[in-house]
Amino acid sequence: MSRPIKIAIIGAGSATFSLTLVRDLCASNAFPGSTICFMDVDEERLNSIHRLAARYVNELGIDLRFEKTLDREVALKDSDFVINTAFAGGHKVEEDLREIAERHGYYRGHGNTGHWGGTKIPYPHGFHQYKLMLDIARDMEKFCPNAWLLQASNPVFEGCTLMTRETSIKVIGICHGHYGYLEIARVLGLDPDKVDVQMTGFNHLIYLTKFEYDGKNAYPLIDEWIENKAEEYWRTYKPRYSENQMSRAAVKQYQILGLFPIGDTVRMGYWQFHLSLEAKKKWYGPLGGFDSEIGWGQYLEDLKNAVDRIFKVANDPTVRVTEIFPPKMSREQHVPIINALVNNVRGDFQINIPNKGYLKDIPNNVVVEVPATIDKDGIHVGEIIQLPPKIVLTVLMPRMIKMECEFYAFKTGDKGMLLAMMLDDPRTKTVEQAEELLEDLFSYEFNREIAKYFGYIQ
């Protein structure tokens, strides 16, 4: 018999994500009598998602209680699970900082991800995220020390590593990028139920270490597709901005590194894939992929439309919410993981957790992405197929060093470290260019507090 639990959702104003969680909770119907507490700093969005959730369970007759608060302490107190989807400043701040960078010659620079072929810009925005994540984890130590933190917002790799180093909180980082293997199966015409995979690495840097179909190695099927069908596919396909899995960029990475990149890994790639819109179109298709000005613009527009739709329904009491958003399980792993830990519904997941010898060339205080089984006794990681040295040395190690440089700057306020990182960026042509960019980034009003920390203002 399931026991009632409390789930706190931090950043619940992320309406599409919060609605997905509500739908999954209702579709699973695994937590009767439980309380979900929405917390956000945006009261209008908070009220809307709370209204929508209450109507949703009422229409289905499911015993879930929803609370709302602007106070993080209230949300966290006595919680069993905390889901952090908060993004400091949101996309508006991110886009403003991107615009500043582009004025200084840093095409499409942004702070939450970075091409592993070079150093990402050490945007103050990323440091805001680190501070927010640490603040949440430290508050959990006070108000719900035994709770699990399910980290949803980026950067999952850096953020989870930082929180597990600095706090005692149990952290699981969650991303859905690993589902990219299903796109490989679709393009190859394979029944996904007969596909067996393993993927490991860092979040947004995972590789297909095992790819079997009906019990046999299926990598030759990828090779055959590349040899006989890829060029025609690239000539005729019209992918959405998010459909990068079978792009030229993915195949070129596979040919160089020997394993197929999965999900967001494809977006990273080499700097040469990202130097211009023309380069992006060559490697990622007609839209230039997720991270081009075209693709990212369409993503933001789609996100806005989805949020507008959700809030329109939330503010119209005449609409049956469940008819617009049917209670069907998504592919998000958050609710199934909670169900495994609480109700012992054992399941297999792709998660981000501290390394404990799973990837042998990576320090144990670094979070890695691995397949794992979860049940009431916790997380169980089986035998992991090791990544080849070529990937460890040229992909994972450089990304790890970037992370450590950012952590050093974040902890010390050393502005020299910021400049040193900028000078490693292939877009930097002169020292003065990098210095002027940092000055501009730290003059942005949202960054005022952290600008004082780094000594850019008194």
Which residues are catalytically annotated? Answer: 176, 264
Question: How far apart (Å, rounded) are the C-alpha atoms in residues 247 and 266?
Answer: 8
Which are the contacts of 390, defined by CB distance < 8 A and separation ≥ 6? Answer: 257, 258
Say if CB 57 and CB 365 are below 8 A apart: no
Neighbours of 442 (CB within 10 A): 20
In which residue are the tokens 């067996």 written?
A: 196
Question: How far apart (Å, rounded) are the C-alpha atoms in residues 437 and 102?
Answer: 9
Question: How far apart (Å, rounded) are the C-alpha atoms in residues 219 and 212?
Answer: 7
